[in-house]
């Protein structure tokens, strides 16, 4: 019995790391929504199955061959100690690269309890019906459990589905009751492939010149996110709630609309983001328009006339349509006389027959569209032209979205939150405005389905025309960009490939000039670390 207890203590130390790692990946993969966690396991077989645990699998035949339980106990203990030591090294390496650690939410705590119960069910029989002669069998069982821990975590997540549904419905009921008690609350929904969070925050800044507007915090754009916002942040003093709405497939925007019943909507640009999970560009278009089709007849929506996918869509909703544009002069609100520099942006808009001049510290055409949407809806809500001017002038940069940050000789253009084909091109256009050395650091773009190589290659071509130095994060992930740079005869001595974005910043300090501008385009979640 003492042999088993010693082995078990070492074993628990080992699997605690693996459980933490698997829970981290499960959380980052949205608790296996659309089988994302299982796909991560398939795409990372080396990390999951071949890192260290394969040594123990090799040890199983030796357990049978050697026969001696004492010798097997010593060898197994040494293997466990070695594995713990190795995993501790990997843990420290992962923590250095880690961008968003595991968040110990109540859901994670419930999962941890379920995993513990499952493990106890598997190991308690060893003690209840302990027999010395079966010690080798117990060791094989412990090795097998350790090897399959990622799947045990997956099974625990499946077991917890009824519990999570009950928790969700209880919180949802509370949120619906709160919304019902606020009949005068204006509910605005914002969706699109790109720029949702920026549009939401800019709209909030504009509307708050006259109203109390509450935007969903950070990127809480799922049913849980909206429910959390309503239950924890919305209060009786709020006139407006701005609900960011994200989706990975058709039907998810409709689900969010059925939850909060928006009367007003903004549709940012429609593109190829999440093409892999939507399945086709047509599905993305239909999915995004679920917001507009959910609006009541006495509601209103803001649409982009420069976006062919919006202009060509046959809208069934009878709500009021307000069109914005930069290029298409037929729109209701058109940005004209645009002047952009590294200091900011200025442009004119004709509103109710009056030419109104706007200035903002924000950069990029995407932000002009976002500001136009805020101006259009603000005007609809009765905000005067003078108030709109003041509001736009004080609009704050959205964190990690073309955010300028100076650090000595280096000015960072932080566009790290996310990246897409349109946004990355516009971010490079902003970098091109800068007078000095131009550097881009990027891991490329993801979740673009069959077009991922093509669109990243195109990104690489655009980089080659503008940048002096290129820092690529992840050799495999950035292969299309590398190919494009090579095809366009970009100087190889100015291409740097690193495994982690933090290593890229060390390179920047070595290659900087007196005036250096660094575009940080995208920063992939930890599950994409190579």
CATH number at residue 485: 3.90.190.20
Q: Which residues contact 169 (CB under 8 A, 6 or more apart)?
A: none
The reply to whether 167 falls in a domain is no
C-beta of residue 299 within 8 angstroms of C-beta of residue 377: no
The reply to whether 370 falls in a domain is yes
The reply to whether 171 falls in a domain is no
The answer to whether the Cα torsion of 367, 372, 377, 381 is positive or negative is: positive
Kindly report the CATH number assigned to the domain that includes residue 282. Answer: 3.40.1190.10
Cα gap 362→384, rounded to integer Å = 22
Map residue 414 onto helix, strand or coil. Answer: strand
Residue 188, beta-bridge partner list: 242, 264
Q: What is the pLDDT of residue 96?
A: 59
Q: What is the pLDDT of residue 404?
A: 83
User: Degrees (nearest 5) of the Cα angle 468, 473, 474?
Assistant: 135
Of 363, 393, 423, the last residue of a domain is: 393
Of 393, 416, 436, the last residue of a domain is: 393
**Whether residue 59 is found in the same domain as residue 102:** yes
The reply to whether 416 falls in a domain is yes
**Whether residue 7 is found in the same domain as residue 143:** yes
Map residue 486 onto helix, strand or coil. Answer: helix
**Whether residue 45 is found in the same domain as residue 145:** yes
Q: What is the pLDDT of residue 184?
A: 95
DSSP state of 49: I
**Whether residue 142 is found in the same domain as residue 238:** no
484: which 2 tokens? Answer: 């494009």
**Whether residue 27 is found in the same domain as residue 86:** yes
Map residue 362 onto helix, strand or coil. Answer: coil
Q: What is the pLDDT of residue 162?
A: 96
**Whether residue 323 is found in the same domain as residue 421:** no
Of 370, 393, 416, the last residue of a domain is: 393
**Whether residue 446 is found in the same domain as residue 389:** no
Cα gap 171→179, rounded to integer Å = 13
Q: What is the pLDDT of residue 406?
A: 83
Q: What is the pLDDT of residue 373?
A: 97
The reply to whether 174 falls in a domain is no
Helix (H) / strand (E) containing 338:
strand 333-341
The reply to whether 115 falls in a domain is yes
Burial environment of residue 104 by CB neighbours within 10 A (0 to 12, 13 to 18, 19 or more) = exposed
Cα gap 411→396, rounded to integer Å = 18
pLDDT in tens, the chain (530 residues): 788 888 899 999 989 988 998 999 999 888 998 888 998 898 888 777 766 677 777 777 766 666 667 777 888 888 888 888 887 777 776 665 556 788 899 999 999 999 999 999 999 998 888 888 888 888 889 988 988 999 999 999 999 999 999 999 999 999 999 999 999 999 999 999 888 989 999 999 999 999 999 999 987 889 999 999 999 999 999 999 999 999 888 999 999 999 999 999 999 988 877 777 787 888 999 999 999 999 999 999 999 999 999 999 999 999 999 999 999 999 999 999 999 887 889 999 999 999 999 999 998 888 999 999 999 999 999 999 999 999 999 998 877 778 888 888 899 998 887 788 888 888 999 999 888 999 999 999 887 878 889 999 999 999 999 999 999 998 888 999 999 999 999 999 999 999 888 888 889 988 988 889 999 998 755 444 54
Domain around 293: 183-393
> What is the DSSP track for 256-306?
HHHHH--SEEEE----STTHHHH-SHHHHHHHHHHHHHTS-TT-EEEEETT
Cα gap 22→38, rounded to integer Å = 11
Residue 357, beta-bridge partner list: 348
Q: How many domains does the chain have?
A: 3
Q: Does the reported pTM lie above 0.85?
A: no
Buried residues in 117-127 as b, exposed as e (16+ CB within 10 A): ebbeeebeebe
**Whether residue 105 is found in the same domain as residue 187:** no
**Whether residue 383 is found in the same domain as residue 408:** no
Residue 437, beta-bridge partner list: 516
The reply to whether 355 falls in a domain is yes
Cα gap 487→461, rounded to integer Å = 9
Question: In 10 A of CB 314, how many CB atoms?
Answer: 5
Q: What is the pLDDT of residue 483?
A: 96
**Whether residue 209 is found in the same domain as residue 285:** yes
Q: Which residues contact 299 (CB under 8 A, 6 or more apart)?
A: 262, 263, 264, 265, 319, 320
Q: Which residues contact 353 (CB under 8 A, 6 or more apart)?
A: none
Residue 344, beta-bridge partner list: 341
Query: Which residue is it, tokens 């060791």?
Result: 139
**Whether residue 322 is found in the same domain as residue 386:** yes
C-beta of residue 202 within 8 angstroms of C-beta of residue 371: yes
**Whether residue 373 is found in the same domain as residue 228:** yes
Q: What is the pLDDT of residue 530?
A: 47
The reply to whether 201 falls in a domain is yes
């Amino acid at each position: 019995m003492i042999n088993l207890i010693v082995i078990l203590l070492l074993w628990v130390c080992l699997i605690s790391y693996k459980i933490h790692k698997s829970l981290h990946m499960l959380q980052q993969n949205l608790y296996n929504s659309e089988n994302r966690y299982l796909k991560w396991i398939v795409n990372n077989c080396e990390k999951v199955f071949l890192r260290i645990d394969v040594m123990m699998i090799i040890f199983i035949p030796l357990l049978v061959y050697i026969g001696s339980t004492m010798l097997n106990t010593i060898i197994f203990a040494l293997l466990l100690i070695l594995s713990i030591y190795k995993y501790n090294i990997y843990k420290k390496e992962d923590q250095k690269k880690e961008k968003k650690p595991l968040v110990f939410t109540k859901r994670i705590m419930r999962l941890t309890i379920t995993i513990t119960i499952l493990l106890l069910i598997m190991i308690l029989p060893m003690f209840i019906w302990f027999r010395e002669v079966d010690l080798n069998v117990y060791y094989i069982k412990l090795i097998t459990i350790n090897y399959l821990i990622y799947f045990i975590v997956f099974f625990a997540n499946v077991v917890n589905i009824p519990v999570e549904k009950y928790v969700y419905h209880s919180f949802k009921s509370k949120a619906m009751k709160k919304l019902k008690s606020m009949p005068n609350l204006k509910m605005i929904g914002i969706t699109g492939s790109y720029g949702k969070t920026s549009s939401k925050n800019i709209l909030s800044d504009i509307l708050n010149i006259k109203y109390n507007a509450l935007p969903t915090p950070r990127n809480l754009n799922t049913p849980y996110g909206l429910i959390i916002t309503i239950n924890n942040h919305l209060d009786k003093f709020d006139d407006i709630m701005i609900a960011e709405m994200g989706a990975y497939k058709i039907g998810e925007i409709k689900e969010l609309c059925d939850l909060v019943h928006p009367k007003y909507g903004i549709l940012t640009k429609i593109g190829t983001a999440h093409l892999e999970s939507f399945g086709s560009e047509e599905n993305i278009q239909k999915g995004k328009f679920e917001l507009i089709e959910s609006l009541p007849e006495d509601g209103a929506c803001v649409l982009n006339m420069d976006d062919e996918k919006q202009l060509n869509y046959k809208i069934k909703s009878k709500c009021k349509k307000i069109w914005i544009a930069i290029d298409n002069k037929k729109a209701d609100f058109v940005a004209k006389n645009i002047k952009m520099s590294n200091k900011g942006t200025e442009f004119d808009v004709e509103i109710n027959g009056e030419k109104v001049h706007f200035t903002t510290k924000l950069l990029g055409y995407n932000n002009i569209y976002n500001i136009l949407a805020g101006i259009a809806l603000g005007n609809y809500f009765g905000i005067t032209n003078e108030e709109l001017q003041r509001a736009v002038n004080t609009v704050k940069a959205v964190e990690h979205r073309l955010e300028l940050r100076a650090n000595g000789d280096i000015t960072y253009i932080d566009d790290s939150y996310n990246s897409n084909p349109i946004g990355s091109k516009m971010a490079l256009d902003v970098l091109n405005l800068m007078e000095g050395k131009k550097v881009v650091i990027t891991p490329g773009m993801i979740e673009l389905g069959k077009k991922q190589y093509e669109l990243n290659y195109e990104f690489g071509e655009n980089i080659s025309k503008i940048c002096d130095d290129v820092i690529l994060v992840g050799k495999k992930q950035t292969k299309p960009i590398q190919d494009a740079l090579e095809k366009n005869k970009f100087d190889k001595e100015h291409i740097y490939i690193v495994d982690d974005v933090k290593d890229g910043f060390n390179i920047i300090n070595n290659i900087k000039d007196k005036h250096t501008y660094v575009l940080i385009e995208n920063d992939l979640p930890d599950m994409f670390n190579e």
